[in-house]
């Protein structure tokens, strides 16, 4: 072949490569194809010799694959597209996921498909076994309706990717009574006539005809139970009170002698130990390994408290219609998981759903399946460590007097920052105080965090520190002096920064217990550490990664629905965030619930006996969970502080600015202008300085929390005798901000 031909063929190949790049499917379609095939991001990354994070970025559009991986990725997607073509309905589906003209206040767009973590291909539905005593008042078939329409054959909502036929009507339904008929509002605007006239019959209908539920998020997990939300009208229809008595509210459940509970027992159904409360599970004993359970959610009894699911200032759920409630909770279920109780409880359940402790493993000799433990999960309840448990734990009984205040060398005190200092003279000359808030700080800290998966190993005799071993270390960090620290060749005034090793920001005064990330940060800063003893975990993994991915995708999808997307420049982002305040109320409720799920899930890892479930020093139910792991919670909170402190130091080096207050994930800086743009450092090319706080919607980036004047702060200090944290009041000007779940 001549040189001219070689050049021509090379030019043609380059052109073909460019065309191939342009013909890659859209990011959402890439994810759909992978999930339709039941493949995980890890599997694709392994085949393409790429990182799992890279595959995730390709599916969200953050980055694009480069040659030679791009050609191989395109080939894979082409093959998957041939096997799993996009449903025809998807091409013509309306913008609104619900398939009907939604009310403006609840026009929630389509939720994204779940982030696949060993997501299985939808299975052929197994035959549902008829309950032992089918109710006689259950009609043989179910009809469906849409508002304003005549009865018709049931139709699912517009096609969603890989809908499991067993659950084609969605994860949940809200039951109401219209014109004397019980109806079930499902996702997609679907309305089903409910023939059941008693609660046992309602359970039978749900298990056999309603086609409600949610497919498992991991091939070794369990499908979510169908969930029914009962409105006050539905409660009355099924013989339940619309409000609990004071005694029942105190007990958190209906009295055992209630007639409906007797109906349930006569029908061969059972309740969990928690009884018939705001969140109730009614089930038949499993047969042939098949779970047959229905979850009831009763808002009138306190199932959806304003502290987690609603807006404290302007509660919406009490007046929300059944259809709108189905859309709100259905969107949460599709993007996160079917609610299992409060958002914190649901956040913990999401961890287990994505990392189930056990799997079925075939015995090659007998051919039977036996239970085996998953290597990447929390599988057992291990012995606890004194320094990691709260004061009321049974292991501390007799250790100290009842009201003894444990000191840092007796207790692991890894908590979020709560710190405030006086302004310097130069800072007082600046007119404004600007608050910035870290998006999804707890979830962001969980991303890529290595945690322990097994029980503790006690190291004594001055063990050498190993940052690869998660756990708790007793070490003296009082010698860590950051007053004249150097960052990037510049000296900063570390005295104007909080210590990263205590929640109060005060410098340690002696030996104390720290989680591994805190000690590793001291080493990173260049200081020697000499642990006295430690409790470490030798089996490790990134247990929280799929949990973070799921919540991140839910958060970003909801923010996108509110008009805020990654890639916006700083001014666009601030303008879009300002519009969110006046945005769709239902979307804002959904956003609040997602953030509360992230924060509450981490808190549940060290659930306390705060409600007095049992006497002090007696075991409480949470201690029986494999997921009661205070060491993991401590590692997350330690990481939150470390990440914030590292960015504070780099921001100080880049712009010579220092925070004056921190409240959990909100930082307040003096500023010459009222906007974060007036405050944060930028490089000559206009981009944020690497390693500093950056405006943006992604978890770990920051948004504008609020602005007040320096004069306001001085007045508040004087009014409160100096006991005042600016960061907790910057948003509302003197009134401590509501916890919105972050």
* pLDDT tens string 230-242: 999 999 999 999 9
Contact 409, 387 (CB under 8 A): no
How many angstroms separate the Cα of 463 from the Cα of each of 393, 471, 525, 582, 724? 27, 13, 20, 56, 41
Q: Where does residue 151 rank: exposed (0-12), middle (13-18), buried (19+ CB within 10 A)?
A: exposed
- Asked if 317 and 325 count as a contact pair (C-beta separation under 8 A), the reply is yes
pLDDT for res 49: 83
Write down the mean pLDDT value for the chain. 86
pLDDT band at 87 (very low <50, low <70, confident <90, very high): low
- Angle 30-32-37 from CA coordinates, rounded to 5°: 100
pLDDT level of residue 611 (50, 70, 90 thresholds)? low
Instruction: Report helix, strand or coil for 360.
Output: strand
User: What pLDDT is stored for residue 5 in this prediction?
Assistant: 55
Cis peptide before 117 (omega within 30 of 0): no
pLDDT band at 733 (very low <50, low <70, confident <90, very high): low
DSSP-assigned letters across all residues of 505-546:
-PPP-SEEEEEHHHHHHHHHTT-----SEEEE-SSEE-TTHH
pLDDT at 68: 78
Question: Two tokens at 259?
Answer: 């007639």
> What's the Cα-to-Cα distance from 513 to each of 391, 452, 456, rounded to whole Å?
15, 17, 15
Give yes or no for residue 648 having a pLDDT over 60.
yes
- What pLDDT is recorded for position 493? 95
Q: Is the dihedral of CA 32, 37, 42, 45 positive or negative?
A: negative
Alpha-carbon span 147 to 496, nearest angstrom: 61
pLDDT of residue 53: 67
Residues 354 and 347: their CA atoms lie apart, in Å, by 11
Reduce the DSSP state of residue 285 to 3 states and report it. strand
User: Can you give the C-alpha Rg of the chain in angstroms?
Assistant: 28
**677-724: pLDDT as tens digits:** 999 999 999 999 999 999 999 999 999 999 999 999 999 888 887 778
- Report the Cα 651 to chain-centroid distance in Å: 29
Confidence of residue 138 (pLDDT cuts 50, 70, 90): very low
Tell me: pLDDT of 152 over 70. no
3-class SS at 452? Answer: strand
Ranges 63-72, 135-144, 670-679, most confident: 670-679
Its pTM stands at 0.79
pLDDT at residue 31 in the model: 84
| pLDDT tens digits for range 235-271 | 999 999 999 999 999 889 999 899 999 999 999 999 9
Tell me the pLDDT band of 80, cut-offs 50, 70 and 90. Answer: confident
State the alpha helices, DSSP H only, in 209-245.
232-237
**133-142, 292-301, 583-592: least confident range:** 133-142
Q: Does 593 have pLDDT greater than 80?
A: yes
Angle at 113 between CA 442 and CA 544, to 5 degrees: 30
């Amino acid at each position: 072949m001549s040189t001219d031909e070689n050049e021509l063929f090379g030019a043609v190949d380059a052109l073909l490569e460019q065309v191939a790049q342009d013909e890659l499917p859209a990011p959402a379609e890439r994810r759909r194809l992978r999930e339709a095939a039941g493949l995980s991001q890890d599997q694709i990354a392994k085949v393409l010799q790429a990182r799992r994070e890279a595959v995730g970025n390709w599916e969200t559009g953050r980055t694009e694959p480069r040659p030679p991986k791009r050609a191989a990725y395109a080939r894979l997607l082409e093959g998957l597209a041939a096997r799993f073509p996009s449903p025809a309905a998807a091409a013509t589906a309306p913008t609104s996921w619900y398939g009907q003209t939604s009310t403006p206040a609840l026009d929630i767009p389509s939720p994204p498909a779940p982030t696949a973590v060993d997501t299985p291909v939808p299975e052929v539905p197994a035959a549902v076994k008829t309950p032992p005593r089918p109710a006689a008042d259950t009609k043989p078939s179910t009809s469906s309706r849409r508002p304003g329409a005549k009865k018709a054959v049931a139709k699912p909502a517009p096609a969603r990717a890989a809908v499991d036929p067993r659950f084609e009507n969605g994860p949940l339904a809200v039951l109401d009574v219209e014109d004397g008929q019980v109806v079930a509002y499902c996702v997609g605007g679907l309305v089903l006539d409910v023939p059941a006239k008693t609660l046992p019959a309602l359970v039978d209908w749900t298990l056999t005809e309603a086609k409600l539920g949610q497919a498992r998020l991991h091939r070794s997990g369990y499908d979510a139970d169908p969930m029914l939300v009962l409105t006050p009208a539905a409660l009355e229809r099924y013989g339940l009170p619309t409000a609990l008595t004071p005694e029942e509210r105190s007990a958190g459940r209906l009295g055992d002698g209630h007639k409906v509970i007797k109906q349930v027992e006569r029908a061969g159904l059972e309740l969990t130990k928690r009884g018939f409360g705001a969140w109730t599970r009614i089930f038949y004993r499993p047969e042939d390994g098949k779970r047959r359970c229905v979850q009831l959610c009763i808002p009138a009894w306190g199932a959806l408290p304003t502290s987690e699911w609603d807006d404290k200032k302007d509660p919406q759920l009490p007046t929300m219609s059944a259809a709108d409630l189905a859309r709100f909770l259905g969107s949460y279920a599709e993007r996160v998981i079917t609610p299992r109780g409060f958002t914190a409880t649901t956040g913990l359940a999401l961890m287990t759903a994505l990392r189930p402790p056990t799997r079925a493993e075939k015995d090659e000799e007998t051919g039977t399946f036996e239970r085996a433990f998953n290597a990447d999960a929390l599988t057992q309840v291990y012995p606890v460590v004194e320094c990691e448990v709260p004061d009321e734990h049974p292991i501390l009984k007799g250790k100290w007097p009842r009201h003894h205040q444990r000191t840092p060398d007796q207790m692991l005190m890894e908590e979020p920052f709560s710190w405030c200092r006086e302004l310097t003279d130069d800072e007082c000359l600046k007119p404004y105080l600007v608050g910035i808030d870290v998006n999804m700080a707890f979830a962001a800290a969980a991303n890529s965090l290595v945690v322990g998966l097994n029980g503790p190993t006690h190291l004594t005799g001055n063990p050498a520190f190993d940052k690869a071993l998660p756990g708790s270390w007793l070490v003296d960090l009082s010698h860590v002096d950051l007053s004249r620290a150097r960052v990037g060749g510049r000296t900063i005034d570390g005295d104007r920064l909080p210590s990263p090793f205590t929640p109060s920001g005060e410098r340690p005064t002696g030996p104390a217990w720290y989680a591994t990330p805190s000690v590793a940060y001291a080493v990173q800063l260049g200081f020697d550490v000499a642990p006295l003893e430690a409790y470490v975990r030798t089996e490790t993994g990134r247990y929280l990664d799929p949990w973070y991915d799921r919540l991140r995708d839910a958060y970003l999808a909801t923010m996108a629905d509110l008009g805020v997307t990654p890639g916006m420049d700083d001014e666009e982002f601030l303008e879009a965030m300002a519009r969110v305040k006046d945005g769709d109320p239902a979307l804002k409720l959904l956003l609040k619930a997602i953030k509360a799920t992230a924060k509450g899930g981490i808190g549940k890892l060290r659930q306390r006996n705060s409600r007095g479930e049992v006497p002090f020093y007696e075991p409480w139910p949470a201690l029986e969970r494999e997921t009661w792991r205070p060491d993991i919670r401590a590692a997350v909170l330690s990481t939150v502080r470390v990440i914030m402190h590292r960015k504070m130091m780099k921001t100080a080096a880049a712009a010579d600015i220092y925070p004056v207050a921190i409240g959990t994930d909100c930082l307040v800086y003096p500023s010459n202008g009222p906007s974060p743009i007036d405050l944060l450092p930028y490089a000559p090319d206009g981009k944020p300085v690497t390693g500093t706080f950056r405006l943006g919607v992604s978890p770990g980036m920051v948004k504008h929390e609020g602005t007040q004047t320096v004069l306001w702060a001085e007045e508040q200090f004087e009014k409160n005798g100096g006991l005042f944290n600016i960061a907790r009041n910057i948003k509302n000007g003197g009134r401590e901000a509501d916890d919105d779940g972050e």
